[in-house]
A = this chain, B = another copy of it.
Amino acid sequence: MHKDETVHHYQFASDNYAGICPEALEAMAAANTGFACSYGDDPWTARACTLLRDFFETDCEVFFVFNGTAANSLALASLCNSYHSIVCHETSHVETDECGAVEFFSNGTKVLLVPGDNGKVDLDAVEHTVRRRTDIHYPKPKALSIAQATEVGTLYSVDELKEVGARAKHLSLKLHVDGARFANAVAALGVPPKELTWKAGVDVLCFGGTKNGMAVGEAVIFFNRELATEFDYRCKQAGQLASKMRFLAAPWIGMLESGAWLTRAAHANDCAARLEAGLRQVNGVRIMFPRQANSVFAEIPPPILAGLRDRGWHFYTFIGSGGARFMCSWETSESDVDALLTAVREVAATVGP
């Protein structure tokens, strides 16, 4: 199925190259105490739900699914019928990196794209997309999907988010947040999670566990409880109901009770800040988007990028720009960052101006 590749100790391709953080792994092991009811009727699932309700300071509905593709697609499918459409940013993950999963889970819901600076939706473009046509040949816009942090590592401020929420409401759009890196956003913005969710009008959040340090698993959080009706059936039919649910739920207990969700995310953000600061010192390098969470997008002369790849560094090319994405994770160390910066400087020196 897959070609063998050696393990790369130092790399910045994605935060899903990182392993399981100790708090998550220990919680899994701690849940491994004999028999437990399956499919979520176990005390760990109950406890994790309670902790998430405390976390958001509201009585939200909580579901645990296996990965982000499923979390986003199922959440959006619960907001839309097949003949509806979802408005999102043209760089959004649901558009560019899920191989048509949204369309598959919803049986055809169309994704309509809007531009916007720094990976954030332009609200006038959203409004235009909703208002420009009302005929039945045009799939009726029903949901607005944004990401926090965005695909280019930026953040919606609380005020921006409130504006998004208000406009969504004004346009009768349900508001979905792809929070694969929601912990990084909270850590960076330093506000209570409720400020970034239901208080701003978010209907459903896909809260990422994997990139925060877990082995597998995301939480789908419905602040609008009505929208969660029969979501358990939806998960079951779509192959997203874990039989040994406790092992999906327990890591959330570990992360939330220990505070690791925050410290691990803050650490990743700090690494990115350190990397950004270092890159800014390198001639010919340009930071492409405000660095706000755990990634740095930089335009770097192609010969330097080639040189880094030759030395075994991993990072993504940013589609269409010739730039590079460096992603930091809970497992990235300051010395990893420094090693990368050293490599950049060395390669740059070789390549010349």
Residue ranges of A at the interface with B (Cβ–Cβ < 8 Å): 1-11, 13-14, 16-20, 25, 28-29, 31-43, 45-46, 49, 61-63, 65-70, 73-74, 81-85, 96-101, 103-105, 107-110, 132-133, 136-140, 210, 215-216, 230, 232-234, 236-245, 247-248, 314, 319, 331
Q: Would you call B3 and A239 a contact (CB within 8 A)?
A: no
Q: Would you call A239 and B73 a contact (CB within 8 A)?
A: yes
Tell me which residues across on chain B come within 8 A of A109, comparing CB atoms: 100, 103
6 tightest A-B CB contacts, nearest first: A70-B239, A104-B108, A103-B108, A16-B243, A107-B107, A4-B46
Interface centre among A140, A210, A215, A242 (most CB of B within 10 A): A215
Other A-B pairs beyond A2-B46, A82-B234, 9, CB < 8 Å: A10-B35, A20-B244, A65-B239, A67-B242, A81-B230, A100-B103, A103-B110, A105-B239, A140-B230
- A100, B102: Cα distance in complex, Å: 12
Give the residue of B68, B232, B319 whose beta carbon is less than 8 angstroms from that of A136. Answer: B232
Contacts A83-B236, A234-B81, A236-B101; A19 near B1 (Cβ below 8 A): no
Q: How many whole Å from A309's CB to the nearest CB in chain B?
A: 14
How many copies altogether? 4
Q: List 11 A-B contacts (CB under 8 A).
A: A3-B41, A5-B46, A8-B37, A66-B216, A83-B99, A104-B108, A139-B233, A139-B237, A215-B244, A216-B247, A239-B240
Give the residue of B36, B101, B247 whose beta carbon is less than 8 angstroms from that of A239. Answer: B101
Q: How many whole Å from A331's CB to the nearest CB in chain B?
A: 7
Tell me which residues across on chain B come within 8 A of A46, comparing CB atoms: 2-5
Tell me which residues across on chain B come within 8 A of A7, comparing CB atoms: 33-37, 42-43
Q: How many whole Å from A71's CB to the nearest CB in chain B?
A: 8
Contacts A17-B38, A19-B244, A37-B5; A28 near B108 (Cβ below 8 A): no
Contacts A139-B100, A233-B136; A216 near B6 (Cβ below 8 A): no
Q: Would you call A34 and B9 a contact (CB within 8 A)?
A: yes
Tell me which residues across on chain B come within 8 A of A35, comparing CB atoms: 7-11, 17-19, 331
- A65, B99: Cα distance in complex, Å: 17
Q: Would you call A41 and B244 a contact (CB within 8 A)?
A: no
Interface centre among A67, A244, A247 (most CB of B within 10 A): A244
Tell me which residues across on chain B come within 8 A of A85, comparing CB atoms: 100
